[in-house]
Amino acid sequence: MRKSSAILFFILCFSPVFVFGGKLEKGYEALRIFDYFRARAVFESVYDRHPLGAAYGLSLLHSRNDNPFFSLTRAHNQVLQAVSFLQKTGKKEKDRLHKLGVSDSAVYALKKRIETEAYELALGADEFEDWNLFIAEYGDAPQRNAAVERRNEIAFRKTGETNTWQAYKAYCEAYPESKRVEESRALYEQLLYKSLTAANTIPAFENFIAKYSQSPYYSAAEDGLFRLATEGRSVAAFHAFVKKYPGNRNVPVAWNSIYTLYTSDYTPDKIAQFHLDFPDFPDKETIGLDMRLSVTSFYPVRENGKSGFIDSSGTVMIPCVYEWVDDFSEGLAAAGKNDKAGFISKSGKIVVPFEYDEVEPFRKGFAMVKRGDFYGLIDKTGTLILPVMYDEIYEFFESRAVVVKKGKYGFVDRSGEEVIPPQFEKAGDFAGGLAYVVKDGKYGFISREGKMIVEPKYDWVENFQSGVCRVKQDALFGLLGRDSLLLPCAYEYIGGFSEGLALAARGGACGFINRKGQTVIPFDYEFRTQLTQDGGFRNSRARMYRKSKCGFIDTAGKILLPFDYDDAQYPSANLTAVKRKDKWGFADEKLKMKIDYQFEQVFPFAGGRARVKKDGLYGFISTSGKFTVPAEYEESTDADKGRITVKKNGKAGLIDPDNNVILPCVYEKIEFISATTVYLERQSKWAYFHLGRCEFVWKEEGFESGF
């Protein structure tokens, strides 16, 4: 016998059920002997005269699961009636009923038992419908809140299985008291946004923004609209955006992008032009500041192991707070912090966060960045144009850049799209609409669209220039036009074109050809490898060799300098350096020796001075041959712009063309960083010296000037 039957048996057996001799007592007696049909009939017949006793008896009857009248719902309804009758039943009746085991405590105990059994049944089934039924029928049961939460949890699970914004919205409306309502509302908002913007189109985002201004995804929709409307990341696209969507939260970002991209070279002329072209630019202060900073020289400095920048007067422009800094390029400088690299502007603003392992300077508006072993590409706003996934990335030429991915070469455009997927063994920059590529070890040419224009069959090629390019096959040079082979690969050497002609060599002899591959100057001259360094004609003359002697010819083949010398250099200051018996001298235009043969090495005149080497040391002479700087230096630069960097005893110094000492030879390094300022390094310490003012602009602590 189940629990409910056992309890009822106990109640009936040990209660004084024979006190009354009326019908009610007969009903309880029928229950005791399991005569359920008679018990039910009796209780129903005395309901009007003894409502409390009859309701309690019927509740007992319906709560037993061993009879055809078992129904916890009916049992609960009757016990609720009994509860209501407790207040209406007089003391005399209650005293009489008490002898049948019917009391306040018995009624409430039965009610509790029925509710507990109903809850356990619902818990065993654990189905949405069962919990809903329990909540509806047992609204005052102590288990109601637990039932509601369990019902809500099952409903939430079923909503998750549907997983639509409509389902979550319905859940929030149906179960506003649920602990899951906030989570459901969040999922509703998320799925609504995803559903309405799934097309990823401008109209989809516009529609969402127009209809759902209170959505937590309103900003995300604005961002999505901004991303699509400015996908090309051009100045025109960003400007169209600020005009069409003035209320979008990304308008300040768009304006900054317009300004940054338009002034990517960071020149004062470009900044001034921007002000004229975009008078509605809201940040006028930035224009004024950048106009000043663009013409201000910034020099890297160090202090206490940290780096920053000063200007040409020594004023600190960016404090020394970085681990390292590079020179500014296009208005931005690479810098390091916490072992990561980023970019800062001249105003000291962090433009690109410190999140990369390495960065390269900006060139043509782009900079290469590195994480781990891979490279990406950013523009000047810091936006990744190319994800960090490439082995190598090269500069843009004709709006195409070579990229290398998994060892294969391809091309991307300025928006970051792989217009020619990586597939080649090697590739060159575009020039004249063509770029060379290597496939199966052979060179050919493709168009900007990736179409193969010249099939890969050469061992080497160079870029097309003015419609022609040099090619190589089986170690021999040829000349290729866009439509045909102009010269077969039968030449030992073909040089680059200069003044319309190119040096060509065959069988140890050389001459000059034109761009059609025609011989213009016969192959009457000796071919020497040093001729490959000359670059052909300069100022309508070319150095050539005949019978082991050197001379010059013009573009018509006329001899300008007789073939009487061991070697010769191109004229400078109306003088030609000539060599005989391992010594150099200078001849005038009439070929008369102006400066005798005495030098081991000579260089062209610049600023009225020529660098010469004598007895293993360098000095300078004037056009008259007089030494203006004695030959006493181990190394020397040319006398350009009136200042010469020299080296003596392994140390660098600075002199003028008349050997006046500007800076003594005590430095490890001297480097011009402007026309008036030099960078000095001594004993691993830095300094900057202004030549015009003859004073130090800045010195690192511990730097010894040497004078």
Q: Domain span at residue 94? A: 3-125
Residue 361 has pLDDT above 90, yes or no: yes
pLDDT, residue 14, reads: 41
Residue 640 has pLDDT above 80, yes or no: no
- Using one digit for the tens of pLDDT, what is the confidence trace for 539-559? 999 999 999 999 999 999 999
Neighbours of 400 (CB within 10 A): 21
Q: Is residue 28 part of a domain?
A: yes
Q: Is residue 565 part of a domain?
A: no
Q: Is residue 24 part of a domain?
A: yes
- DSSP H or E run through 520: strand 519-526
Amino acid sitting at position 634:
E
Residue 459 has pLDDT above 90, yes or no: yes
Question: 250 is written with which tokens?
Answer: 């990304």
Question: 559 is written with which tokens?
Answer: 């001899």
Query: Is residue 417 within 8 Å of residue 410, measured between CB atoms?
Result: no
pLDDT, residue 7, reads: 46
Report CA torsion sign: 172, 175, 176, 178.
Answer: negative
Q: In what order do the strands lie in the sheet with 542-546?
A: 493-494, 502-506, 509-513, 519-526, 542-546, 549-553, 559-565
Residue 16 has pLDDT above 50, yes or no: no
- DSSP H or E run through 351: strand 350-356
- Using one digit for the tens of pLDDT, what is the confidence trace for 664-674? 999 999 999 99
Query: Is residue 634 within 8 Å of residue 618, measured between CB atoms?
Result: yes
Interval 125-154 mean pLDDT:
92
- Using one digit for the tens of pLDDT, what is the confidence trace for 53-65? 999 999 999 999 9
Binning pLDDT at 50, 70 and 90, where does residue 15 land? very low
- Using one digit for the tens of pLDDT, what is the confidence trace for 446-456? 999 999 999 99
Binning pLDDT at 50, 70 and 90, where does residue 707 land? confident
Residue 432 has pLDDT above 50, yes or no: yes
Annotate 47-114 with DSSP letters as a single string: TTTSHHHHHHHHHHHHH-SSSTT--HHHHHHHHHHHHHHHTTS-HHHHHHHHTTT--HHHHHHHHHHH
Residue 13 has pLDDT above 50, yes or no: no
- Using one digit for the tens of pLDDT, what is the confidence trace for 284-319? 999 999 999 999 999 999 999 999 999 999 999 999
Residue 264 has pLDDT above 50, yes or no: yes
pLDDT, residue 21, reads: 52
Mean residue pLDDT across the chain: 94
- Percent of the chain residues topping a pLDDT of 70: 97
CA dist., res. 219 & res. 296, Å (int)? 39
Tally of domains within the chain: 1
Binning pLDDT at 50, 70 and 90, where does residue 6 land? very low
**CB-based burial of residue 413 (10 Å sphere; 0-12 exposed, 13-18 middle, 19+ buried)?**
middle
Binning pLDDT at 50, 70 and 90, where does residue 4 land? very low
Q: Is residue 393 part of a domain?
A: no
Question: 572 is written with which tokens?
Answer: 């400078």
Q: Is residue 76 part of a domain?
A: yes
**Alpha carbon of 431 to those of 408, 445, 450, 487: distances in Å?**
21, 11, 14, 21
Residue 113 has pLDDT above 90, yes or no: yes
Residue of 148, 129, 4 whose CA lies nearest to 63: 4
- Using one digit for the tens of pLDDT, what is the confidence trace for 500-546? 999 999 999 999 999 999 999 999 999 999 999 999 999 999 999 99
Amino acid sitting at position 523:
F
Q: Is residue 574 part of a domain?
A: no
**CB burial readout 621-634, b (16+ within 10 A) else e:** bbbebeebbebebe
Q: Is the model more confident about 3 or about 157?
A: 157
pLDDT, residue 18, reads: 38
Q: Is residue 528 part of a domain?
A: no
Interval 209-227 mean pLDDT:
97
Residue 283 has pLDDT above 50, yes or no: yes
Q: Give the chain's radius of gyration (CA, Å).
A: 48
Poorest-pLDDT segment among 75-84, 235-244, 386-395, 634-643: 634-643
Q: Is residue 118 part of a domain?
A: yes
Binning pLDDT at 50, 70 and 90, where does residue 480 land? very high
pTM of the model: 0.76
- Using one digit for the tens of pLDDT, what is the confidence trace for 576-628? 999 999 999 999 999 999 999 999 999 999 989 999 999 999 999 999 999 99
